[in-house]
Amino acid sequence: MRLSVGKDLSEIQQTRLFANWLLDIGDGNANGSNDGDAVIHILEDLITQSSDPIGSLIKFVYPSFLDNLNDPKYFEERSILAPKNQVVQEINDRLLSLFLGEEKEYLSLDSICQTEFIHNQFDESLYSPDALNGLKISGLPNHKLILKIGVPIMLLRNIDQKNGLCNDTRLQVVSLGNRVIETMVLTGSNIGHRVFISRLSLTPSDNKIHTSSKGDNFP
């Protein structure tokens, strides 16, 4: 599919055409009706050649990074989406390395979800802490969470909807305690508000994960 954009079109119209192009690809309608096999011509603006694609992506989304570390609006307007948690972690690690200051490491305290014993019979000794710590579960942070002051973060749970602390709310780290993180809200109706995020007991929502509970972690 080729996208022809005239020079007289406004930026909004160009964005709308691009969005429709993406939707057609996602819905399987690219290049008209097809039986699942179609040729898609990628826009030249989207094609880049780099030996370090993640580094190039970070530079594109976060230009003049070091000059804008103290500007909350800079992070409010920018984000990177990735298809897999593994890619998300790699991007996070690369972006974290660009921030100044010391890292602070937080570890989860993983254990068997005791409610599972009511309906299932299994040997708890088979599920060691190392095995539980190694699980990569959608909607929950990894066992090891590393942060720095100034880093933008995103909530993975609705913890205070009244005050706008909902899933996908973006915040910026202000200070790092042992069990509490002080943050500033970057999105939603409470932009600029200071809020404290404490450790919570979290249980995976994935029905395929029947034997683990992530307790004492940040949402």
- Read out DSSP for 148-190? -TT-EEE--S-SBGGGTB-TT-EEEEEEE-SSEEEEEE-SSTT
179 and 105 within one domain = yes
The pLDDT score that the predictor gives to residue 181 is 92
169 and 77 within one domain = yes
C-alpha 101/C-alpha 181 separation (Å) is: 16
> What is the residue type of 88?
V
55 and 40 within one domain = no
63 and 28 within one domain = no
Task: Domain of residue 140: give its range.
Answer: 50-217
Give the pLDDT means over successive 10-residue stretches in the chain (219 positions). Answer: 50 81 78 72 71 88 86 85 83 91 86 60 66 73 87 86 85 92 89 88 64 54
Q: Counting Cβ atoms within 10 Å, is residue 49 exposed (0-12), middle (13-18) or buried (19+)?
A: exposed
The pLDDT score that the predictor gives to residue 1 is 41
37 and 11 within one domain = yes
The pLDDT score that the predictor gives to residue 114 is 63
Contacts of 180 (CB under 8 A, 6+ apart): 196, 197, 198, 199
155 and 73 within one domain = yes
103 and 2 within one domain = no
63 and 33 within one domain = no
The tally of domains found in the chain comes to: 2
Sign of dihedral through CA atoms 13, 15, 17, 23?
negative
Supply 92's token pair: 């996070």
Sign of dihedral through CA atoms 57, 62, 66, 69?
negative
17 and 101 within one domain = no
C-alpha 66/C-alpha 190 separation (Å) is: 26
C-alpha 37/C-alpha 18 separation (Å) is: 21
The pLDDT score that the predictor gives to residue 219 is 64
67 and 24 within one domain = no
202 and 133 within one domain = yes
The pLDDT score that the predictor gives to residue 174 is 93
Is-contact 9 18, C-beta < 8 A? Answer: no
> What is the residue type of 60?
F
108 and 207 within one domain = yes
Instruction: Please give the backbone phi and psi of residue 196, each rounded to the nearest 5 degrees, phi first.
Output: -110, 130
